[in-house]
Structure 1
Amino acid sequence: MRIIAGAYKGSKLVAPGGSNTRPTSDRVKESLFSMLDGYGVLQAANVLDLFAGSGGLGFEAMSRGAAEVDFVDSAGASARAVEANAAKLGIDHSTRIHSSDVVSFLSSQRVPKQHASAQLQSEGHSGGTHSGEGEHGEGLDAVLDGEVLETRSDLDDGDGRIFDLVFMDPPYPLGEDAVTQILGRLSGLLDMESIVVVERASRAPEPTMPAALEVFRSKTFGETALYFVQLKGKPEEVSDSAAANESA
């Protein structure tokens, strides 16, 4: 596993032990970051890498100009691998490592006041036609150790954090309803220029978006599908510059 371009090109990354992580392939990564470069989202970006594993996507973003990255993963081995990689690259000061499940981390983030209404609306979205059954349909409780998404209680007048770019590469068995609910919680931490990249199995259905979000581009690479997500209402000329659905 290595960084493929930018300031740290060629640097090898420490991978967490065990077989629970699924690194994004170089082919997918190269295409993904080419698209992100085209959107102009990488330079000086505040990045969030959810289900981070070794941190490969977050570190690739930093190599290409991102300012800082928050890495989130509940596995201790992943947190240790990210810490080792940050130290190896000499960018400890620009990274935050959260050994936490994604739900708990997102629950701890203060949502900016202007996003409060949209946040509560998106969390109330039921997940469309997904029934919670089948290979990709387990509920949030079953996959995330009983952590249930509830209405936030910490919305206040303080300034919350905004992420310019979010990578979300959950385990493929994570249920579609759970993915939708996590995206709903995440939507309050974005602005109109933010991009969320969701990686899923190409055989799985396209993620159902909460009320505040929409998929503006998708691309498949064999067994991997990438979905590019933004807040609804982004200027039409920006959204129209992206192909709606592509395959490779």
Structure 2
Amino acid sequence: MRITGGAFRSRSLASPSGSETRPTADRVREALFSILENRYELTGARVLDLYAGTGALGLEALSRGASHVTFVERRREALAAIRTNVASLGVLAQSELMPRTVHAALAALAGPFKLIFADPPYADVQSGVAAEVMSGLARLLGEGSVFVLEHGKKAAAPSIAGLGCVDSRTYGDTALVFYEPR
């Protein structure tokens, strides 16, 4: 796994062993950031990476000009990978790590964020748990902001209070849904 564009292009990222972490594939990240860079201003953006896993989405945003990323992840192995990746890219000053559940982090965070990513376990999207956890997300987004949800293509894109779906794309088994504040 590597950074696909920007200042850190082609730099490798550490990933925890095992099957609990499902990093976003390089080609999906590349397509995602192509869309984001064409529609939104990433330079100087404040970014929130929920269910961060390896931190690849947030680190890709930093590589492409974001000014700060908050990573939310609760699993010890994934936290270690994020710390390793942040250190190897030299972006400690532009990063904040919140080692807690997404639900707890969302209650503690203050916006606005320009860009929010969430890559929850696919089963949480299918069961509706992810939509419930993210029900208060709209308060963290400002005007011109976007929330991107990654989920399995077999699950329907959830409705999230205060957000409207503006686009969705499918890449293999992965779906990306783009939401903006209403």
Normalising by the smaller structure, the TM-score range is: over 0.9
Q: TM-score, normalised by structure 1?
A: 0.71
Q: Which is higher, the Rg of structure 1 or of structure 2?
A: 1
Paired residue for 1:171, among 106, 117, 121?
Answer: 121
Cα distance between partner residues in 2 of 1:41 and 1:165: 10
Count of residue pairs the alignment pairs up = 181
CA RMSD of superposed structures (Å) = 1.1
**Aligned equivalents of 2:84 and 2:28: distance in 1?**
24
TM-score, length basis structure 2 = 0.95
1:223 paired to 2:173: yes
Q: Which structure shows the bigger proportion of residues in strand conformation?
A: 2
Question: CA contact under 8 A between 1:28 and 1:221: conserved in structure 2?
Answer: yes
Aligned to 1:194, the other structure's residue is in SS state strand
Identical pairs, percent: 39
* AA in 1 matched with 2:152: A
List runs of 5+ in structure 1 lacking aligned partners. 110-159, 233-248
1:207 partner letter: P
Which residue does 2:19 correspond to in 1? 19
Q: Provide runs of 4+ in structure 1 moved above 4 Å.
A: none
Amino acid at match of 1:214: G
What aligned pairs does 1:17-96 form with structure 2 within 5 A after superposition? 17-96=17-96
Contact 2:68–2:95 (Cα < 8 Å) also in 1: yes
Structure 1 SS opposite 2:116: strand
What is the correspondence of 1:150-165 to structure 2 with a 5 Å cutoff?
A: 160-165=110-115
> Which of 199, 205, 215 is the equivalent residue of 2:150?
199
Q: Deviations over 1:11-52 (max 9, x none)?
A: 101102321011111211111000000113311100000000
Deviations along 1:129-183, one digit per CA (max 9) or x if unpaired, are xxxxxxxxxxxxxxxxxxxxxxxxxxxxxxx431110010000111443222223
